[in-house]
A and B are shown apart, each in its own frame.
Chain A
């Protein structure tokens, strides 16, 4: 009995700080065409053939700040493979976002949506709101809240989508 309790305790202690809870999604995928922090216009349609993580985030969001290093790791782990990350800032100014980027240093594409139209179209009324898009451009999974993007379960799901 003691061994079982010790095993349970060990399992709980070794559990990741963030729960990974990608939720299968079956619904429409709105268009996403926005200007990036780099000044270029990015269109999700141009990413057909890639698996894309679309994240809606904001500089005032604590979990967003915390998880961005793991998003950098995730992107790096799929280097050379058809995977990308588009992070849509929720309605803040370019200056606010740039200051955050200078500090936190995300290595993926940052998009701006000052008017909030994409936020409404994607029903992203919580932050961070995450969408995993398959190679055909369809939302396949969603996730609300911060997570450890370097977790093996996420890499496995992305790999499965890449291999479809």
Chain B
């Protein structure tokens, strides 16, 4: 009988993730955006002064997002995962994400801040990064006096995983055209991008465009993974490893976002 170490390692990683993720409870809550629209939210409750407001590519339908949120909660970081598409009665398709209004994201942020008293950090991957950024841009419109760290009004920053912020399909030979919200917020932004995606080469330009709004922007490349790595059916070993450790990656990102100022880490 032959021994295959890689499938075994993958199985162990998944099992470790499942065990770690099973421990923390999730509480469903509902908030009202207006008289007619309510949003169901999965609240992964935790102590701590900071919380994540997550907009997943598939609205959090994937088990990896749930497991990651549960692991983060166990590690002291509360996560809200709002189901915005159901609130709008839209199908759970990537194209539906564009229909989510930035003004409504502002209301969700306000709810999160008012209910928990915690500083709110938005987190989103792929096309859903536009949802987070639209919300942050509208936040800036509503609270123009908030300082660049969002200390006054609760929004602390954004973590984007492999963000896809193009306003239209890319054209070879021409620089990317980004959505209007790019450069319209000044909260700190941390971008995690896969090494094995063409978008990594556009990061310097995206960083520059985001910084135009006053944001402090940090970019990190995750070696050997592709975009949407935690939702892939054809995931490779590197992608399985990062997915199993995604909560740790996000926690480290949050720490960097909150403690890194002007090139130095502040304890």
B171 at the binding interface (Cβ < 8 Å): yes
Known: A60-B226, A125-B176. A142 touches B171 (CB 8 A): yes
B172 in the interface (beta carbon within 8 A)? yes
CB within 8 Å of A: which B157-186 residues: 169-176
The answer to whether A104 has its CB under 8 Å from any CB of chain B is no
Q: Which of these, B196, B198, B204, B205, contacts A126 with CB under 8 Å?
A: B198
Find out whether the CB atom of B172 lies under 8 angstroms from the CB atom of A144: yes
Q: Nearest-CB distance from B182 to chain A (Å)?
A: 14
Enumerate chain B residues within 8 angstroms of A139, measured Cβ to Cβ. 173
Residues of A contacting B204 with CB < 8 Å?
Answer: 120
A58 touches B172 (CB 8 A): no
Among the listed B171, B176, B196, B199, which residue makes an inter-chain contact with A60, where contact means beta carbons less than 8 Å apart? B196
Docked complex: B169-221 residues within 8 A CB-CB of A = 169-176, 196-202, 204-205
How far is it, in angstroms, between the C-alpha of A123 and the C-alpha of B166 when the chains are bound?
Answer: 14
Max count, chain A CB within 10 A of own CB: residue among B169, B170, B201, B202: B201
Tell me which of A60, A90, A122 has the highest count of chain B C-beta atoms within 10 A of its own C-beta. A60
Q: How far is the CA of A139 from the CA of B205 in the complex (A)?
A: 22
Contact of A131 with B201 at beta-carbon distance under 8 Å, contacts A58-B196, A60-B196, A60-B226 already known: no
Give the shortest distance, in Å, between A142 (CB) and chain B (any CB). Answer: 4
A66 within 8 A of B: no
With contacts A116-B201, A124-B201 taken as known, whether A129 is within 8 angstroms of B196 at the C-beta atoms is no
- Most chain A beta-carbon contacts within 10 A, residue among B169, B171, B205: B171
Known: A90-B201, A91-B201, A120-B204. A126 touches B173 (CB 8 A): no
A119 at the interface (CB under 8 A from B): yes
Complex CA distance for A34 and B200, rounded to whole angstroms:
20
CB distance from A53 to the nearest CB of B (A): 12
Whole-angstrom distance from the CB of A54 to the nearest CB of chain B? 9
**Distance A27 CA – B174 CA, assembled complex (angstroms):** 8
Q: A30-59 toward B: CB 8 Å interface, digit per residue (1/0)? A: 000000000000000000000000001010
Bound CA span A131–B172, Å: 7
Are B172 and A130 touching (Cβ within 8 A)? yes
State in angstroms the CA–CA spacing of A127 and B202 once bound together: 12
What residue of chain A has the Cβ atom nearest to residue B225's Cβ?
A60
- Docked Cα-Cα span, A58 to B196, in Å, equals 8
Among residues 111 to 158 in chain A, which have CB atoms less than 8 Å away from a CB atom of chain B? 116, 119-120, 122-127, 129-131, 139, 142-144
> CA separation between A61 and B169, bound complex, in Å?
17
B226 touches A123 (CB 8 A): no
> B202 contacts which chain A residues (CB < 8 A)?
125
Taking CB atoms, residues of chain B closer than 8 Å to A127 are 198
Whether A25 is near chain B, meaning CB under 8 Å from some CB there, is yes
Q: Across the two chains, which residue of chain B brings its CB closest to A124?
A: B172
Is A23 close to B, CB under 8 A? yes
Contact in complex: A122, B198 (CB < 8 Å): no
A142 touches B172 (CB 8 A): yes
When A58-B196, A60-B196, A60-B226 are in contact, do A125 and B173 touch as well, CB less than 8 Å? Answer: no
* Bound: A61/B198 CA distance, A: 9
Residues of B within 8 A of A60 (CB): 196-197, 226
Chain A, Cβ-Cβ closest to B195: A91
Name the distance in Å between B170's Cβ and chain A's nearest Cβ.
4
Contact of A23 with B198 in the complex, beta carbons under 8 Å:
no
Q: Which residue of B lies closest to A145 (CB)?
A: B169
In contact, B196 and A125 (Cβ under 8 angstroms): no
The 9 sampled A-B contact pairs (Cβ below 8 Å) are A23-B171, A91-B201, A116-B201, A120-B201, A125-B201, A129-B170, A139-B173, A144-B170, A144-B171
A-side interface residues toward B, CB under 8 Å?
Answer: 23, 25, 27, 56, 58, 60-61, 90-91, 116, 119-120, 122-127, 129-131, 139, 142-144
Other A-B contacts than A124-B198, A129-B172, A130-B172, 12 sampled, CB-CB below 8 A, are A58-B198, A60-B196, A90-B201, A91-B201, A116-B201, A119-B201, A120-B205, A122-B172, A124-B172, A124-B201, A126-B172, A129-B173
Q: Which 3 A-B pairs have the closest CB atoms?
A: A129-B172, A126-B170, A125-B202
